[in-house]
Amino acid sequence: MNFASDNTTGASRAILAAVTAANAGQSAAYGKDDFSKKAARLLNEVFERECASFLVNTGTAANALALAAVAPPFGAIFCHADSHIMEDECGAPEMFTGGAKLIGIPGEAGKITRAGLVTALSRYPRGIEKQVQPAALSISQVTELGTVYSCGEVAALAEIAHEAGIKVHMDGARFANALASLQCRPAEMSWKAGIDVLSFGATKNGALGCEAVIFFDPATAANLPYLRKRSGHTLSKGRFLGAQMIAYLEKGHWLDLAKAANAHARALAEGLTKIPSVRMPWPCEANEIFAVLPCKMDSRLKAEGAVYYEWNFPERDAGCAPPGQDEIFVRLVTSFATRKTDIDRFLAVASSAGI
């Protein structure tokens, strides 16, 4: 019953098999191989546009490189106060941009609102010599609190950003889960909604370690080959990244994986909703669930072998009462590899401890 994260599981069988198959024979190095070229073609097909895409090993590298391409060292990057780039990347965006400043915007359930963005932009007008200059907006889809921006919400934020003359980045570590949730086309959730550059995650959804930085206007990507190389993310055996991305995208494999992960989370959330002593501060919209549980239930679940993380309750931004003295706030994450039997057992233990 491991619900700690979607990266505690291994890779999907198809992707692992593709890596093994790519092992045979000789191949050009540093991303000039046929696998990487085919991956780029498939990304163009999936996004219905000629993109400039770059494969890297981690989501942190994808985010930091994407931001380095659009923000100068004296730039301001607007993001949610709890975002991964702000909290979980050890200063990589600041380092890769050469010193750009991240400006955190609070917002309910992990989302930046239009009003929040307008206020933040108003504090950093262009041309004030002693302040960082507005450079980019970065939003996460799925958000760090498991919620999903609608395409309309993305478009509304992007419009404000573009009016202010800044680029829009999407941290799509869970892009596939968001897409499966909204049931729209990749183009609609990205460039058609105003996204300029996307960190397109694959690792959490079944790859071994592969993410793409995708620029919808290739001109914006002019410096990326050099930025990637100097960051140590131009893999000499780049074919293995290409092979992962091909297997991920072909035959809709990525969407099948994400649909499975989301369905598991929905089943878990529906079961938890039926237990009166459990409350959830916002709905489960992809593959993550946040819930306040009685400590008694938490202990029983852990004694039975369940694994998950306690989470910081976002006081300002939640839609339910904070955990009381004998309660705990937790995050549960499902993946394509979650077993239905584990969900059933988790819910059985929780229900029996939850009256």
Residues that bind ligand PLP (CB under 6 A): 58-60, 63, 84, 140, 144, 171, 173, 203-204
Q: How far is the CB of 313 from ligand PLP (least distance, A)?
A: 19
Rank residues 11 and 173 by Cβ distance to ligand PLP and give the closer one: 173
d(CA 175, CA 6): 13
Rank residues 67 and 301 by Cβ distance to ligand PLP and give the closer one: 67
Closest Cα partner for 193 from 142, 159, 165?
159
DSSP character at residue 197: E
H helix count then E strand count, the chain? 13, 10
Rank residues 60 and 262 by Cβ distance to ligand PLP and give the closer one: 60
Q: Is 91 exposed, middle or buried (0-12, 13-18, 19+ CB in 10 A)?
A: exposed
d(CA 32, CA 225): 12
Comparing every residue's Cβ against ligand PLP, the nearest one is: 59
Q: How far is the CB of 254 from ligand PLP (least distance, A)?
A: 16
Closest Cα partner for 66 from 200, 210, 235, 198?
198
Rank residues 332 and 353 by Cβ distance to ligand PLP and give the closer one: 332
Contact present, 93 and 70 (Cβ < 8 Å): no
Q: How far is the CB of 215 from ligand PLP (least distance, A)?
A: 18
Rank residues 59 and 294 by Cβ distance to ligand PLP and give the closer one: 59
Q: How far is the CB of 204 from ligand PLP (least distance, A)?
A: 6
Q: How far is the CB of 189 from ligand PLP (least distance, A)?
A: 15
Q: How far is the CB of 91 from ligand PLP (least distance, A)?
A: 13
- Work out the number of other CB atoms within 10 angstroms of the CB of residue 60: 20
Rank residues 298 and 317 by Cβ distance to ligand PLP and give the closer one: 317
